[in-house]
Structure 1
């Protein structure tokens, strides 16, 4: 469109795509096709969150508030589809359908009262991230000890963009595929903190945080996202490892907690699939006297790729 900046065009294209997907998901929902609707809701929430957190498209603060409210509503409906016995979803299909109609007509710089009204009634989780899971907190290996999650620090992490290194240097890309847990469906807003740390717990690369899981089954949380380590493999300190902390929201306590962790050591930086053992919290950066989370054959599944510049 003449006179419009590429940034404005990018935002416009995103909104058009999101509106189309939201209506498509709602249509499936109205037809009783919960699986199809849930898949669209999960993907839509992930895409909106990723773009809102990015500085590339520069959404205004007021528009970000609207989009975050829409994300909370989508996540709440997704949670209900996975656990229809939830009684605190806060809205029904009639109201959701009206919201979709309003969102499809919404333009930047305008309020979306339909979203505000619903969002105000949703159970508060004490964080910008919305509920993506069941209402009950995980149990079993997880206990009431919340040691391990660095509240206020990990909350600001994002995924780094794919870096470019000097000629001859190697980029390590980690495909974070899925994690196996005996109570996977019960986790609320599960996400990973990805940390490159030495034995003293000092960061040696940019700390990262993923978006919430994009799917779940009886035994797995699926992430299916790429993690770029922003130091060349040739410069990776020998005493460091890459740690993967699984965090989730504990509704009763109103805060996040680390569920478990896994790590990848220097001699494991080879192309191909990996299945890492899961360990009990708190995260042990010295990697000594570790306690397995479970004796069941459940692991963190990764796929490593090395790219030479």
Structure 2
């Protein structure tokens, strides 16, 4: 596949996601719109910051600006009537810029991003705090059940995109957990996130000593672009209604040399997750594991 074809496919995929988000926005579905805008913003950021020369520096600047506008639109939806930095009509013009990014020079961005950012900062801190609390409540009511899995990124020439299928986790009291899900993150040797963390949808199938997920998690950077010493972390979480909080029960991780195609069984460790891997204690001596399947996409 030529670089031009890769560019075209990337922009088509981004444009499709952009249109879905603005449709939710137009139809008065702010929770779905916000969730979509945030995902798309992370994707744009990944494209803008990757070392792979898929887009020119000028095009990457445009992608970053679009991501900033999506973040600002989220703020406007979270605090209706108080933040007007980015309107839906603005996004429609920005969508046209995204569609035409490969055909023309993009020096004239349709929105004054700096002015929009300044206006967004005028939201009083008390309203910011209230809105942040509301967002958590929305997550509890619906977003957590859906998860935050991202679509599979494009596999560039000579690069491999990793898909981790989370099949099931073994726990002696598996049926007792409420709204269980797994957060997946990729981190370097210091524990710093290398890609956006992703949550699986809430698992609904529970057996006597097993919770079944069967969810595919697409790592958002190719194996070749990740630094030596990276690890993939899996944190098993569940909802505690009495405390009205999310709790981590246990966690597992997979180092670079364990990333091999096929089935994998990982040991489970006591919380909290130690991203630097210096204080690790087994959850149990019983043969209970996190079962995965590794798939490479080229």
Q: TM-score, normalised by structure 1?
A: 0.52
2:146–2:202 CA contact under 8 A, matched in 1: no
* Cα-to-partner distance string for 1:96-130 (whole Å, 9 max, x where unaligned): xxxxxxxxxxxxxxxxxxxxxxxxxxxxx956445
Task: Identify which of structures 1 and 2 has the higher relative contact order when contacts are C-alpha pairs closer than 8 Å and 6+ apart.
Answer: 1
Task: Output the CA distance in 1 between the equivalents of 2:197 and 2:31.
Answer: 24
Distance in 2, Cα, partners of 1:286 & 1:156: 29
Quote how far apart the aligned CAs of 1:157 are: 7.0
2:152 is aligned to 162
User: How far has the Cα of 1:201 moved from its partner?
Assistant: 2.1
Would the aligned equivalents of 2:146 and 2:200 in 1 still touch at CA under 8 Å? no
Match of 1:204 among 194, 200, 219: 194
Contact 1:129-1:189 at 8 Å conserved across structures: no
Match of 1:178 in 2: 168
The correspondence for 2:294, drawn from 290, 304, 309, is 304
Cα deviations by residue, 1:269-303 (Å, 9 ceiling, x for unpaired): 11000000000011011112310011111100000
Match in the other structure for 2:126:
none
Q: Is the 8 A contact 1:280 1:291 kept in 2?
A: yes
**Which residue of structure 2 lines up, in the alignment, with residue 292 of structure 1?**
282
Q: Give the unaligned 5+ runs of structure 2.
A: 1-19, 33-135
Kindly indicate whether the alpha-carbon contact (under 8 Å) linking 1:198 and 1:240 is maintained by their aligned counterparts in 2.
yes
1:126·1:254 contact (CA, 8 Å) conserved in 2?
A: no
Structure 1 CA distance for aligned equivalents of residues 211 and 145 of structure 2: 20
CA contact (8 A) 2:147 2:201 kept: no
Give the length in aligned residue pairs: 175
Pairs within 5 Å for 1:224-263? 224-263=214-253
- Provide the TM-score with structure 2 as the length reference: 0.54
Q: Where does residue 58 of structure 1 map in the other structure?
A: 24
Cα shift at 1:238: 1.3
Task: Give RMSD over aligned pairs.
Answer: 2.9
Tell me what 1:104 maps to.
none
CA distance in 1, matches of 2:30, 2:137: 21
Give the drift of 1:165.
Answer: 2.6
Q: 1:58 is paired with a residue of what secondary structure?
A: helix
User: Cα gap change, 1:128/1:285 in structure 2, threshold over 3 Å: closer, same or farther?
Assistant: closer
CA distance in 2, matches of 1:189, 1:155: 7
Query: Which is helix-richer, 1 or 2?
Result: 2
* Corresponding residue for residue 180 of structure 2: 190
8 Å Cα contact 2:183/2:198 also seen in 1: yes
Distance 1:261 1:184 in 2: 15
Q: Deviation at 1:164?
A: 0.3
1:44-193 aligned within 5 A: 55=21, 58=24, 60-61=27-28, 128-129=139-140, 158-193=148-183
- C-alpha deviation, 1:57, in angstroms: 6.3
Paired position in structure 2 for 1:77 = none
